Every structure is written in C-alpha cells, then in structure tokens.
Amino acid sequence: MRRLLIGSFVFAAVVSFAGVGRAHITLTSPAPRHGPDQQKVSPCGARGDARGEAVTVFEPGETITVAWDETIDHPGHFRIMFDDDGFDDFPEPADEFDLCEPGGDQGCLLDGIEDKRGGSYSVQVTLPEIECENCTLQLIQVMTDRKPATLYYACADLALRSSGEDPGAATSSSSAGAGGGAATGAGGGAATSSSSGAATGAGGGAATSSSSGAATGAGGGAATSSSSSAVTGAGEEGVGGSGPGTSEDDGGCSFGGAGGAPAPAALALAALGAVAARRRRRALP
C-alpha cells in the first residue's frame, strides 16, 4: 500500500511538472521571438525582453497569415496587435470583455478570436500601410476560467519594406528569373523575363529563351538558362557593355564566359571547319 501511494505521488508530480513545462500557446507563423516556455510576462512573454534574431519581412499593407497552436486549452479568446516603433508598448485589455476594434484602435489587427478548445489556429490580418524596421506583432491569449482573466503572450519581430527599387534594378517576388522576375544587363540595358521564359534587353541587343532554357543574345554571343533561372548579360555574352555574362539556375550553379568567348557549339563548328580545310589542302596535287 505504501509503495502504491509513493508511486501515485511520483506520477502526479511528473504530470504536474510536464503541464508547467508545456506551452499554452505556440506561435508558428511568423517566426516567434521566444520559445514556448516564455509566455507569462507582458508584453512578449519574457523579462528583459529584446528583439530576437529571427525577423520576418513583409510589405506595407500586406495581408498575412498568423498561425499558432493551443497546447493547453482554456476558455477565452485571442487578440493580435501590432507595434511599429520597437518599444512594444501594446495596450492590455482591461478585462475579458475589453475588445479592441481593428482599424479603429491603434495597433489592433484582430480581437475576439474564439477559443476552439485546443488545436491549431490560422487567421489572416492586414498589416498597416507603413514602413518600419522594428515592428512587432503580438499574440495574446485571454483566459477567462479565473477572475480576473489571465493573459499569456507571444511576439514576432517584423520589418515592413516596400519592394519598389530604382529604375533598371531587378525586382521580383522571388528575386529574379522566370515567373515574372526581372534581370538587368550591363551597358544601360535592362532585361525582363516572363513566365514563358522570354527575355528582351535594351542597349541594342535582344535575348530570347524558351522554356527549355536556351537563350541567344545580340552582340555575337550566346547565353543559356533554365526557365526558372535569373539571367544577367554583359559584353558579347548578353546585352550591351563589355563584361561577362552569367546564368544561374535554382541550384546555385553558374554558366557563361567573359569577354567575347564563343559558345561551345561555335567552337565545335570552328574545329570541324579547320579539319576539313586541312584535308582539302592535303588532297591538292
């Protein structure tokens, strides 16, 4: 009997300790500032709070998905806030009935997200039309099974930056290449590529590429790229100028040559021509 009581006590202690160690909420997207074991201290869960190294970049006014897991269920709701100055000065709800109004109250993105008794959550919120390098997104769990309501916190470090760049610079949602990306060539010419793989270049030269990745450029040279590659051309290997031309695929490999180096096919043809000429000279009496 004594052994049974001791075993029951140890089991209860282990279960209790595991419950304390588990997170109530785990922010999964955007990347959280802290791990799930730091949630109880306002505004972001930890004492002596400071921005972390994981910063997620969005565009001003972008609609994003905020996702999290509720690992220990409590009745209540969730709130999502935004701060743009790096001070994390989020207003806290006065009580469980104090809901902020998105678009009306400063920093309020969404409130009153109903608890669904644990599991995964995913909602969409629209970020403000501003640029900032030290922005913070805050997720609050408002638990109403005790009075007053208990709050748990999680934050994500953000930066809001416009994607517009100077004229002639490469702009794309995936840096450069196919699918609407853009590439730039030396000599003042810019080349743009569409999802079909076609590219046109300024500076007196034009390049075309099919979805198979073959591309030919003005100026006497040739460049090759896959349909999802970023292409930059210079000198005789691409468009305008006098530098090297390169093509990079998704795997990070690069191809191309410097100056006016001919393509492998041209070298082969030149070699065959030289052999034929030598044979003709030998055949002469």
- Does 223 map to a domain? yes
- Does 84 map to a domain? yes
- Does 165 map to a domain? no
pTM of the prediction?
Answer: 0.51
- 3-state secondary structure at position 100: coil
Same domain, 139 and 186: no
Same domain, 56 and 135: yes
Element (H, E) at 150: strand 150-160
Using the CB atoms, write b or e for 54-83: b if 16+ within 10 Å. ebeebbeeeebebebebeeebebbbbbbbb
Q: Using one digit for the tens of pLDDT, what is the confidence trace for 127-181?
A: 999 999 999 999 999 999 888 899 999 999 999 999 864 333 333 333 333 334 3
* Ranges 49-53, 91-95, 173-177: which has the least confidence: 173-177
What domain count does the chain have? 2
pLDDT value at residue 48: 79
- Does 234 map to a domain? yes
Same domain, 154 and 53: yes
% the chain with pLDDT above 90: 32
Same domain, 45 and 127: yes
Domain range for residue 153?
23-160
Per-residue pLDDT for 255 more than 80?
A: no
* Type of residue found at 269: L
Q: DSSP characters for 200-243?
A: EESTT--EEE-TT-EEEESSS-EEE--TT-EEE--GGGSSSSSS
Same domain, 70 and 125: yes
Same domain, 212 and 118: no
Q: For residue 74, give the CATH number of its domain.
A: 2.70.50.70
Same domain, 98 and 194: no
Nearest CA among 282, 185, 284, 192 for reference residue 232: 185
Same domain, 228 and 122: no
pLDDT value at residue 96: 86
In terms of pLDDT, which residue wins out, 171 or 33? Answer: 33
Same domain, 216 and 149: no
Per-residue pLDDT for 268 more than 50?
A: yes
What confidence tier does 120 reach under pLDDT thresholds 50, 70, 90?
Answer: very high
Same domain, 84 and 132: yes
Nearest CA among 200, 95, 98 for reference residue 150: 95
Per-residue pLDDT for 82 more than 60?
A: yes
Per-residue pLDDT for 112 more than 90?
A: yes
- Does 38 map to a domain? yes
Same domain, 147 and 34: yes
